[in-house]
Structure 1
């Protein structure tokens, strides 16, 4: 299953302006934020991440609601987090 998962922007990468580090439920990974270049992203902002790309900026309230829902899915959500842990993690 592929899910869009909320992640909190932690920092921007040094090596490329379109890369940033996000924290997705305790898992940190690099994602491409180039699609949101006009959003004025800053550390602490929340984004919806799918297949390594930040697709949209979302509010903290919306992020928490989605995380609560995803955690309620149980194993499929844990599987998605395991996939994140095995990918391009910081």
Structure 2
């Protein structure tokens, strides 16, 4: 299953393609931020297959992460971690 997972931006790098590091409840991944140009460090974005596709507030991100955390292995599976 492919889900959009919310995470907090911890670093932004502007170059040919706007990239950043996003923290998903302790799991960090490199993410393309080109589709969320106003998102900055500390903001939450929904990430699908390595691309931030929308910006969300902290409360919405927390609700989604809580649901995913209730499903054993869901978050790790979506982020490519061993369950």
TM-score calculated relative to the size of structure 1: 0.80
Higher share of residues assigned strand: 2
The CA deviation at 1:80 is 2.0
Report the more deviating stretch, 47-56 or 22-31.
22-31
Distance 2:11 2:71 in 1: 29
State the 1:16 CA deviation: 4.5
Q: Structure 2 unaligned runs (5+)? A: none
Tell me how large the CA RMSD over aligned residues is.
Answer: 1.8
SS at match of 1:35: coil
Moved over 4 A (4+): 14-17
- Shift, 1:4, TM fit: 0.8
Q: Which has the higher helix share?
A: 1
Taking structure 2 as the reference length, the TM-score comes to 0.85
Q: How many residues align?
A: 82
Structure 1, unaligned stretches of length 5 or more?
A: none
